[in-house]
Amino acid sequence: MDHQMVTDDNNQTEKQGANYGGYQARPRNDVQYLYCGVENDIRPREPIRCKACGHRIMYKKRTSKMVQFEAR
């Protein structure tokens, strides 16, 4: 189903969703890992390596947001 929206600028029509004026890009999903006392930000699809020493075993940083588990 295709919706159209008429704008006031010279009566141009544009498809809904194609208007990028109010679009907010999602924040990058960099994951923080710890090793050598340094925080390493690793992007998705990037190899996991310490940027200080090149070691491949790293520790994922604990999340700071509230996480609640339900036990049954």
pLDDT exceeds cutoff 50 at 57: yes
Inter-CA distances, 41 with 26, 44, 49, 51, 57, Å: 17, 10, 10, 9, 14
pLDDT exceeds cutoff 50 at 13: no
Q: So where are the chain's domains?
A: 27-52
Q: In the structure encoding, which two tokens stand for residue 69, read together? A: 């588990």
Higher pLDDT, 22 or 7: 22
Average pLDDT over residues 2-26: 55
pLDDT in tens, 18-53: 555 666 766 667 888 888 888 888 888 888 888 889
pLDDT exceeds cutoff 80 at 66: yes
